[in-house]
Structure 1
Amino acid sequence: AALRADPASVAVAGAGGGTLDHIILGLMLRALGRQAREARFVAFPGGGPSMAAVLGGQVQAAISGWSEFAEQVKSGRVRALATTGERRLDPAVPTLRESGLDVVATNWRGVFAAPGIRPEARQALVTLMTDLHALPVWGRLLAERGWDDAFLTGPALDAFLERDRAQTEAVLKELGLA
C-alpha cells in the first residue's frame, strides 16, 4: 500500500542501478500506475549486502534472486512477499501476478552466436542445447536450484527476447539509464 501511495517512502535495496532488481521495482511501480523513476532504489553490490540492509533496518524491502534470500526466509528472519516468475518457487509465497501486479520478470540465461553464423552451425547449436535440455540431469539441476524451466528456441525465443527487450528498455528510459 505504501509503495502505491508514495513510492519514495519505501526504500528498496537491490544489486546496482539498472540491474534486474532495479528494473523489477520499476515494473512493479508501472503496474501500480506510478512511474519507475519514483522508486527509492538503494543500490548495493549484491544480494548479501542487500539482505544485511534489510536485517539492519536501513531499507524496508529488497529485491534479489530467490537463492540469495531463501535461507533468511526459511529461518523466519525475513518474510518473502512475492516472487517475480510465472510460478511459485515456494508454496507459501505468491507470485507478483497472484498478488495483483501484472509483472513477470526472470533472470534468464541464453546461448548466443555471432550475427553471421552459418545456418547449419546455428542449427547444430540449437540441436545440442535441445539434446542437453532433454537429459535427466537438466531437470534435476532445475529442481535442486529452484529454477524455472524456461528453455526456448526459434520463434518462441525471438518473441520472448523482443518482449523482454521492450519492457526493459521502457523502464531504463524512464529511469534515465537508456
Structure 2
Amino acid sequence: MPSSAFDELIAKCTGSAVHLEMRDTYAVDYEKGPFADWKSGFRHDPADRASWWRPWLDLMQETVSRGIVVRRARIVSEPVSEYTRFLHDGTFTNVAAGEQVRWLPRRRASDIALPGNDFWIFDERWIHWNHFAGDGSSLGEEVTDDPAAAKLCANAFETVWSRAIPHDQYEIR
C-alpha cells in the first residue's frame, strides 16, 4: 500500500517511476488475505475487471496517463517460491493498469551491483527505500535524494531491466 511519502513522490514525478523487487517472499499485511485465497485455489478472472481492480491500479493508470513511464522488475530465485507464483499469477493486473513488468532469474543477476533493499526511484533522483524483516514483513520506508544512491539504483535497475524477461514471456520454473 502506498504511504504518504510514496504518494507525494509519485504525484511530483515528471518522467519515470521504476521499482526493483528482490525478495522471494513478502508478508505485507495488505496481501495476507489475497495470498491465502490464492493458496486455497482462488484465481482472478481477467475478463471480470471489476472483481480485481483496486486503488493501486487506479493510481498506476492515472500515473501512466500523465505520461510517466512506470516499470517494475523482479529478481527471482528459481525454482520460484509459492509467493512468486502468486505474484506472477496476478501481475496481469499491473500490466492492465499500464505498468511494464519484467522478471530476472537471480542466477542472471550475480554480477550486477545491487542495493541492499527494494526501492522505487522517481525521475532518477528520489529513492523510496522499502525495508523488510527476514520474514518479509514491512519495517517501513526511507526517502533520499542522495546522488550516489540514486546513481547506484538507476544503474542497477537499468542493468536488471536490460536482462529481464517481459512478463508475457516469462515462464514460471
**Does TM, normalized by the shorter one, top 0.5?**
no
Higher RCO, 1 vs 2 (CA within 8 Å, ≥6 residues apart): 2
Q: Where is the helix percentage greater, Structure 1 or Structure 2?
A: 1
TM-score, normalised relative to structure 1: 0.26
Give the number of the structure whose alpha-carbon radius of gyration is greater: 1
